[in-house]
Amino acid sequence: MPTFSTKSQPVKPVNQQPSMSTSYRIPKSDLQRLIELLRCDGYTVVGPKVEDDAIVYAEIGHIDELPKGFRNSQDPGKYRVEQTGHKNLFEFNVGPHSWKQFLFPPRAMVASGTREANRWTFETPPEQQPKFAFLGVRSCELAAIAIQDRIFLQGSYVDPIYKARRESALIIAINCTVAASTCFCTSMKTGPKCRIGYDLALTELEDGFVIQSETERGRSLLTTLKPDEAIDKDLEEARILEQRAVEQISKQLDTTNIRDLLLGNLEHPRWDEVSTRCLSCTNCTMVCPTCFCSSVSEVVDLTGDSVHRQREWDSCFNLDFSYTANGIVRNDRRSRYRQWLTHKLASWYDQFDSSGCVGCGRCITWCPVGIDLTEEVAAIRQPPSSNRMLPVIALPNATCVLTKETKE
């Protein structure tokens, strides 16, 4: 923990309604009070917890469920959770989950039909949706939620499921104080400090939190908590911890003219090279907090008298995702990877006036072969003649299963 030379000042008790322009301080025990207040108000509180050797997002009822003392180490194709013995609750970086799963659920019923006396009745499901309070939302994830708001709320067609869940959601953000080797939010101007899009924002200190509100809902919660106004020592400690995260970010993505760069190099040999490594496994799209591809299927019961139209997450890496009446449009991994990267970093600007990437690094960490999109863009920036072809490296612990045909 850094040491400070700032002269200590007396705590200023708050005797009036908290201001949205002022920083306050609460002890760590008040986080439990905040969780209880939200649960009493009908919210399902969702936050980080350690499950199955990963830090995931799930319902929580007590601060003891938070990943106290844990950190996660991340590299391309590698993720490990470690108990390091520190006393902080949020001293880690994003894992495989994103908040997307709660606002844009992986599976949702969008319509149903029932047959009675040879007559079908169709209806849409009721719009009653869960009321979530998200605890521990990082700055890159706030940016991802804002991107999905543009996709589902601000276009010609509004998604009713997303709309209902988003309007009732309350967001408690947390400023990053450490960074993973796969983070590049500074390149995307999405972090690591939370700027907008939250109701409350926390910075974790050694023995408490600096807390700010941005909305009336957040200010109402602060009023109930009755926090003290943060003193200079608190603010300086928070600033140093937040700067530590900035200084730990080593990965960079050059976004200069990136749209024209990618769309102007659709036949660059790097697409062939990356296709020799890509498994088309869809991991990058499943962990991405902004990807929104989905497909719709009809699920019929055994009697044939009831049918549900079900929407599920899908991926542009799936072979049949581009199926049309004339066949599959993107029938090789080269074209599917190129579609994903050029959409995420280039044509997304044409659709939504922003990048589709927030620099969270999940796609790098959770790619089984460690494909790094920042390296792929850097390679495409090089003229084809100077673009070195990387050797294909055998994966460790790979298992070869011989079939009858291969044996023969």
Q: Are residues 68 and 208 in the same domain?
A: yes
Query: Is the separation of the CB atoms in 101 and 110 below 8 Å?
Result: no
Residue 398 belongs to some domain of the structure: no
Pairing of strands 44-51, 132-137: parallel
Q: Is the pLDDT of residue 63 over 90?
A: yes
Q: Decide: pTM greater than 0.85.
A: yes
Predicted confidence band at 5 (pLDDT cuts at 50, 70, 90)?
Answer: very low
pLDDT tens, position by position, 7-48: 334 444 444 566 667 899 999 999 999 999 999 999 999 999
Predicted confidence band at 399 (pLDDT cuts at 50, 70, 90)?
Answer: very low
pLDDT at residue 16 in the model:
56
Q: Which domain holds residue 187?
A: 12-106+121-248
Residue 76 belongs to some domain of the structure: yes
22-to-3, 195, 210, 213 alpha-carbon distances in Å: 24, 14, 10, 8
pLDDT tens, position by position, 249-275: 999 999 999 999 999 999 999 999 999
Query: Is the separation of the CB atoms in 374 and 360 below 8 Å?
Result: no
Residue type, position 379, single letter: A
Residue 177 belongs to some domain of the structure: yes
What percentage of the chain exceeds 90 in pLDDT? Answer: 77
Other C-beta atoms lying within 10 Å of the C-beta of residue 8: 9
pLDDT at residue 385 in the model:
65
The Cα angle at residue 61 between residues 57 and 67, in degrees rounded to 5: 50
- Count the domains in the chain: 2
Query: Is the separation of the CB atoms in 93 and 176 below 8 Å?
Result: yes
Q: Are residues 216 and 262 in the same domain?
A: no
Which residues 6+ apart lie within 8 Å of 281 measured at CB? 317, 368
Residue 112 belongs to some domain of the structure: no
The region, left, alpha or beta by phi > 0 then psi within -120 to 50, assigned to residue 39 is alpha
The pLDDT of 226-237, averaged and rounded, is 95
Q: Are residues 52 and 132 in the same domain?
A: yes
Residue 402 belongs to some domain of the structure: no
List 232's β-bridge partners, or say none: none
The pLDDT of 370-394, averaged and rounded, is 75
The region, left, alpha or beta by phi > 0 then psi within -120 to 50, assigned to residue 370 is left
Q: Are residues 244 and 270 in the same domain?
A: no
Distance CA 261, CA 106 (A): 33
Q: Are residues 154 and 127 in the same domain?
A: yes
Predicted confidence band at 314 (pLDDT cuts at 50, 70, 90)?
Answer: very high
Rounded to 5 degrees, what are φ and ψ at 137? -85, 125
3-state secondary structure 163-178: HHHHHHCEEEEECCCC
pLDDT at residue 85 in the model:
84
Query: Among all chains, which residue has been given the structure tokens 């280039």?
Result: 346
Q: Are residues 237 and 262 in the same domain?
A: no
Q: Are residues 148 and 48 in the same domain?
A: yes
Q: Are residues 338 and 282 in the same domain?
A: yes
pLDDT at residue 15 in the model:
46
Query: Among all chains, which residue has been given the structure tokens 């036949």?
Result: 267
Domain final position from 214, 248, 282: 248
Q: Are residues 57 and 187 in the same domain?
A: yes
Q: Are residues 279 and 225 in the same domain?
A: no
Q: Are residues 68 and 197 in the same domain?
A: yes
Residue 7 belongs to some domain of the structure: no
Query: Is the separation of the CB atoms in 333 and 280 below 8 Å?
Result: yes
Residue 349 belongs to some domain of the structure: yes
Residue 305 belongs to some domain of the structure: no
Give Cα 152 to chain centroid, integer Å.
16
List 27's β-bridge partners, or say none: 208
pLDDT tens, position by position, 112-139: 999 988 899 888 887 789 999 999 999 9
> Which segments of 191-327 does DSSP mark as H helices, in order?
216-225, 232-248, 258-263, 270-275, 283-287
The pLDDT of 200-209, averaged and rounded, is 96
Q: Are residues 324 and 244 in the same domain?
A: no
